[in-house]
A and B are shown apart, each in its own frame.
Chain A
Amino acid sequence: MHEFSIARSICRIALEEAERHGASRITAVCVEVGTMRQVVPELLKTAFEAAGSGTPLEGATLELQAAPVEATCNQCGHVSHCETLQMNCERCDSSDVQFAGGNNLRVNSIRVAEEVCHEH
């Protein structure tokens, strides 16, 4: 359900950036989503469509890129990057693992249809 709030924020940022670059239509928005964030992709896409309809985002696709979480083994020190929380170290199989990062929620880029006509 919080996907609607997140979708509105994504749309606001994308529209601001498009306007700043003099673009009147956005075809895609690329968003990085950390593994720790509990965002349901399907819900976010539906919310994004709803929030963008009737704006230059109408018909734009939302591209989600997963940002991995870092798992450090407290026993052997091995560090791995995973896109789900794996409970055991991939090297020594210890369950004494510490997760960090994977908290990103960031608009990385947008694709726009037109050429830039003027820069501010």
Chain B
Amino acid sequence: MSQDRRVDSYDRGRIEDVGRWKDWAKHKPGMWAFYLHRFTGLVLSFYLVMHLTVLGTGFWLGHTEYTEIIHGLESLFIVKLLEVGLFAAFVFHALNGVRIVMFDMTIGLDVQEQLFYLSIALSFAVVMVGVPFFLL
């Protein structure tokens, strides 16, 4: 396709491709759902790799060390906060994922905006319920 590019046309570059961040305020709910879904997805994938690495290493070191690693991490407040973030990422990704699977079965396509707001509201509620479990 790029061979069809006219020599004198102005290529506005790849920044155009990723998203019109300049106009972020104009982005519609569907687009925000996509951004959030992708962001949380990448976060969760990254965590999956870290999780398996840390726990695996912990186990290869031995049972005592495994327990110590977990307690060492859990004594840090920042770790607890990050875990709330992880939980929030999971809950949103899960609820929005259900929304997407519904679309794939061609259900609810005309109420997609409301479904997005619903998934946001439900995620917020579930995470609020979860906060004491993570921080106490």
Do the two chains belong together in a single complex?
no
Which residues of B are in contact with A by a Cβ distance under 8 Å? none
